[in-house]
Amino acid sequence: MIFHPLFVPSGPRNLFLVQHIACDPAVVERRVLIVPPLFEELNKSRRLFALIAEKLAALGMECVIADISGTGDSDGELSELVWQDWLDDLDSIHDWINEQTPKVPLSILSCRASALLVNDWLARRMPDIHSMTLVQPCTSGKTYCNQFLRLRVLANRFAGVDESLADIRFMLDEGKHVEVAGYSLTNQLFTGLESIDLKDYCQNTVGGLDIIQVSSGSHQNLSPSLKKLLDTWSGQNRVGSHHVDAESFWLTQEISAPKKVIDLVTKTLSINQKYNG
């Protein structure tokens, strides 16, 4: 097993990637790019995606986990970035992967808000992607951004400071830096994320799309937002939906890497690699 941390240039910044590969690169038949969740959810889910990458590599796939600018160990300050920078980052990562193993089908695994970024990138830049798997995707950028800003609202409220969501939005609209849960943001990045609604995107991929819902309980029902997404996308592509009974690893206070999630994600990607439309 090769575990290869490296930096890849993206414009003026260097991006941190980790490549997992278990065999001679020349015989890799499938590749997976993992774009982890954003902000604090990235930290909560790092271990999970490292374990997924290891398992995929053991199955013969090459797996790359990427930190986009301003996140993880990559260069850049969030407050200085614009949405275009993140799209350019995915271009740079995609180009690097293609230089390593050209013409090998590439699948993308996204999670939570990174699903918004990945789908916008796919729509705008139209890279050649074999399949896409989305783990507990945020379907609405607007909803996700409101929920993120709420972290500051409630932290202030518990500290006795009265500040509303509207107050924070006003500061962002005035071009100010706003700190939320330790992350300094501006509207330049935020409006890009907020503008995306997954229902407006449906990617045509040979290997299809898979949506994985992670929630506690034995019920198999998709949440209303994921069901709406599935209904919208099903008309235009092969879309699979799956539910795994596991805790919300991106939120739990203790770092969690549910085995059931690892097993389902790797199984889904393994099945996708065999599907050629």
Partner 1 sequence: MSTYTHVVEVLRGVLSLEGDNDKYTRQTGLLGSLPQFDSMAVVSIITRLEEEFDFFVDDDEIDAEVFENIGSLVDFIDHKLD
Which residues form the interface with partner 1 (CB under 8 A)? 143, 146-147, 150-151, 153-155, 157-158, 164-165, 215-217, 219, 221, 223-225, 246-248, 251-254, 256
Strands (E), the chain: 2-10, 13-21, 31-35, 62-66, 106-111, 131-135, 178-180, 183-185, 209-215, 239-245
Q: How far is the CB of 202 from partner 1 (least distance, A)?
A: 20
Q: How far is the CB of 144 from partner 1 (least distance, A)?
A: 9
- Residue 175 or 182: the one with the smaller Cβ distance to partner 1 is 182
Structure tokens at 230: 């599935």
Number of helical H runs and strand E runs in the chain: 8, 10
Q: How far is the CB of 88 from partner 1 (least distance, A)?
A: 29
- Residue 22 or 153: the one with the smaller Cβ distance to partner 1 is 153
Q: How far is the CB of 228 from partner 1 (least distance, A)?
A: 8
Distance between CA atoms of 231 and 237, rounded to whole angstroms? Answer: 11
User: Residue for token digits 């706003």?
Assistant: 178
Residues in the chain: 277
Q: How far is the CB of 209 from partner 1 (least distance, A)?
A: 19
- Residue 204 or 252: the one with the smaller Cβ distance to partner 1 is 252
- Residue 13 or 46: the one with the smaller Cβ distance to partner 1 is 46
Sign, CA dihedral 181-183-186-189, equals negative
Distance between CA atoms of 265 and 240, rounded to whole angstroms? Answer: 12
- Residue 81 or 149: the one with the smaller Cβ distance to partner 1 is 149
